[in-house]
Structure 1
C-alpha cells in the first residue's frame, strides 16, 4: 500500500476516479476499509476514523504538523472516550467544574473504581519550541487536576472508590520523546490503549494525585 494514501484522503481526495488518477488502486482503498478507517460508497470514499487515518499517514512519511491540521481536538476527544470506555471506564467529556471560585474544564475524565484519569487532548505539533509548549500545557493541566481533586465527588457526579487516585494525562498526535513532564503523563494517541492496559500495574511509578496532593 502506498504510504501517501491516508494523506490524500485526509487532504480532500475522496472520489474514486480522482484517487485512481493519483495512482491509488481500489485494492489499497479496500484494505483501509477492512481496517475500519474509511467506507467506499459507490464512487466516493467516506472517512470514518480521521485520527487513525492521520496516524497512518504520519507513519508513511507525512509531516506531523501537516497531519495535525487535518484533525480537530474533537477527533482526539472521541478517540480517547472510545479507548476509556473499552477498558471499562465511565466517562465524562468534557467535565466542567468550579473550585476556589474559578471555572475549569477537562477534555475527558474516566472513572473506574478508585482510578480517575484526566485527559487533555492536544493535536498540535510544532518544529520549534515543542518541549516548552508541552511543558506549559502540562503545567496548566496539572493545575486543573489539583483543583478537581479538591471537589472530586461533587464535580464528577460519578461513584468513585475509596482513596481516589487521579492521573493527569496529556494526549498528543506524535510521540514527544518523553513519558512525563510537570507531573503529567505524556502519551501519543496511538499508545493510549497500551497505557490503559498497563496503567494499574504501574501506579507506583506513575505521576498521580492522591488525597489532593501530588504523589
Structure 2
C-alpha cells in the first residue's frame, strides 16, 4: 500500500470524510484510492489499461472485473469550478467511446483472465472527487468517490448492468 493511500486511511479512521481526505491527493493517488476500493470489494483491477482499436490508442484508468461485470472507470480529480458540467458530458462521451471500443476487442485481452467466459457486461463510469450536478450522461454513470462503495454494491446486485458483450473464442 502506498503512502498516499495510507494517509487517506489514517484520515478516515480519524473521522474525516472520504471527500475531504482525498482532496489533497494528486491524480495518480486518486486513481490508486479508487482502484483500492474496487479491490476491497473483491474486484480484480487493472490500472492504466491501454489498447488500440481502429488505428487509435485508448486508455482506461481502471478496469475492475467481477465476472460477468467489467467496470471501466475514468477518474476525474477535478476541483469545484464553473462549467464542469459541460466538461463532464464530454468526458462521458469519450468514456462511452472507450467502452464500445474496449468491448469490440475484449476477446483479445488475455491479461484480463476472462477467456473462460462467453459474455460480459461493461459498465462505463466516471469517478469524481466531488458530488456533481450530473449523475448520468451518454450512458455513463458519474460516481463521486464518497459513493463508490454503494455504487459497487448496486453493480454486484445486478441493478446497474450496462453494455452486454459476447466474448467469442479465439481458438
Instruction: Name the TM-score, length of structure 1 as normaliser.
Output: 0.65
Aligned-residue offset at 1:127: 2.6
- How has the CA–CA distance of structure 1 residues 84 and 130 changed in structure 2, closer, same or farther, with 3 Å as cutoff? same
Query: Matched residue of 2:33: which SS?
Result: helix
Moved over 4 A (4+): none
- How has the CA–CA distance of structure 1 residues 152 and 181 changed in structure 2, closer, same or farther, with 3 Å as cutoff? same
Q: Distance in 2 between matches of 1:201 and 1:53?
A: 26
Kindly indicate which of the two structures has a greater share of residues assigned to strand. 2
Higher relative contact order (CA 8 A, sep 6+): 2
**Equivalent residues in 2 for 1:138-153, closer than 5 Å:** 138-153=92-107
Aligned-residue offset at 1:94: 1.1
Find the partner of 1:198 among 130, 154, 165. 154
Give the unaligned 5+ runs of structure 2: 1-6, 167-171
Report the equivalent of 1:56.
Answer: 20
Give the unaligned 5+ runs of structure 1: 1-32, 39-47, 59-66
Query: Matched residue of 2:71: which SS?
Result: strand
Aligned-residue offset at 1:119: 0.4
Aligned-residue offset at 1:154: 1.5
**Equivalent residues in 2 for 1:75-154, closer than 5 Å:** 75-154=29-108
Q: Distance in 2 between matches of 1:156 and 1:148?
A: 13
Aligned-residue offset at 1:53: 6.7
Aligned-residue offset at 1:57: 6.3
Question: Larger C-alpha radius of gyration, 1 or 2?
Answer: 1
Q: Distance in 2 between matches of 1:121 and 1:137?
A: 10
Query: Matched residue of 1:151: which SS?
Result: helix
> How many residue pairs were aligned?
156
Report the equivalent of 1:37.
Answer: 10
Instruction: Name the TM-score, length of structure 2 as normaliser.
Output: 0.80
Q: Distance in 2 between matches of 1:156 and 1:181?
A: 30
- How has the CA–CA distance of structure 1 residues 109 and 156 changed in structure 2, closer, same or farther, with 3 Å as cutoff? farther
Report the equivalent of 2:133.
Answer: 177
Q: Provide Cα deviations, 1:71-90, integer angstroms capped at 9, x if missing partner.
A: 32212211111111111111
